[in-house]
Amino acid sequence: MNLAVFASGVGSNFLAIAKAVKSGRLKAKLVLLVCDNPKAPVLSKAERLKVKAALVNRKDFASKRDFEAKIISLLKENKVNFIVMAGYMRMLSSDFVRAYKNRIINIHPSLLPSFKGSQGIRDAFNHGARITGVTVHFVDEEMDNGPIILQRAVEINGAETLKSLEGKIHKAEHKLYPEAIRLILQGKVKIKGRRVRIKPV
């Protein structure tokens, strides 16, 4: 399977996935990084790992439709079968999601459906939650809403700071995301409506 990772920032999850592919833990090819931010550190990570990177800046396009049409043309050109969102800070249009139905996944830094949105870690911390975590889910037309594949809980202890919690969440992400992708590659993830069933390993 040919994977594309979409990212807008540092790229720590991109790095975790790339390492899992390189080590053989993921039986797939990471053929493309799609990035919308010319200043994103993930671009240098892709260069270092010799992963093809495509910088597609929304400012260069008159409309979201044209912007996404360019991305889709790149996906087709590189024969991408599956899309992995890894800190990509743009909502995909309904047309894009439908074109790759059940072939786009995302990782979110909370136990969905709690603390949706771009500040999931901060929101859980400020709320005073004692348990938060990480969720891998399929992408649908709504934000942080698709069927859940895997979750992992992370405890927020009494001495926690926002920075320490961010570190714990990222550590959990880097383990859970490759595991979810591995299950998908092995055909163990079955989706029906809003329900996901994981076949026994």
For residues 6 and 93, membership in a common domain is answered with: yes
pLDDT of 36 strictly over 90: yes
For residues 4 and 81, membership in a common domain is answered with: yes
Chain-centroid distance of CA 100 in Å reads 15
CB burial class (10 A; 0-12, 13-18, 19+) of residue 160?
A: middle
pLDDT of 43 strictly over 90: yes
* Domain-located, residue 114: yes
Annotation marks residue 127 as catalytic: no
For residues 84 and 123, membership in a common domain is answered with: no
Domain endpoint, select from 101, 120, 150: 101
* Domain-located, residue 199: no
Residue 30 carries which side chain, given as an amino acid letter?
L
Tens digits of residue pLDDT in 108-149: 999 999 999 989 999 999 999 999 999 999 999 999 999 999
Tens digits of residue pLDDT in 143-170: 999 999 999 999 999 899 999 999 999 9
Which two tokens mark 116? 């949706």
For residue 170, what pLDDT is reported? Answer: 96
pLDDT of 192 strictly over 90: no
For residues 115 and 85, membership in a common domain is answered with: no
Is-contact 68 100, C-beta < 8 A? no
* Domain-located, residue 182: no
For residue 195, what pLDDT is reported? Answer: 82
Tens digits of residue pLDDT in 57-81: 999 999 999 999 999 999 999 999 9
Which of these is catalytic: 108, 127, 170, 174? Answer: 108
For residues 66 and 18, membership in a common domain is answered with: yes
Q: Which residues on neighbouring strands pair with residue 192, listed in sequence order?
A: 195
Q: What is the CATH number of the domain that holds 65?
A: 3.40.50.170
Q: pTM to 2 decimals?
A: 0.94
pLDDT of 201 strictly over 80: no
Tens digits of residue pLDDT in 93-107: 999 999 999 999 999
In terms of residue numbers, what domain contains 151? 108-176
For residue 159, what pLDDT is reported? Answer: 92
Residue of 172, 198, 193, 170 whose CA lies nearest to 183: 198
**Rounded CA gap, 41 and 115, in Å?**
26
For residue 191, what pLDDT is reported? Answer: 87
**Per-state percent for the chain, helix, strand, coil, to nearest 5:** 35, 25, 40
* Domain-located, residue 184: no
Confidence of residue 193 (pLDDT cuts 50, 70, 90): confident
What stretch of H or E contains 83? strand 82-85
For residues 124 and 147, membership in a common domain is answered with: yes
How many domains does one find in the chain?
A: 2
Chain-centroid distance of CA 8 in Å reads 11
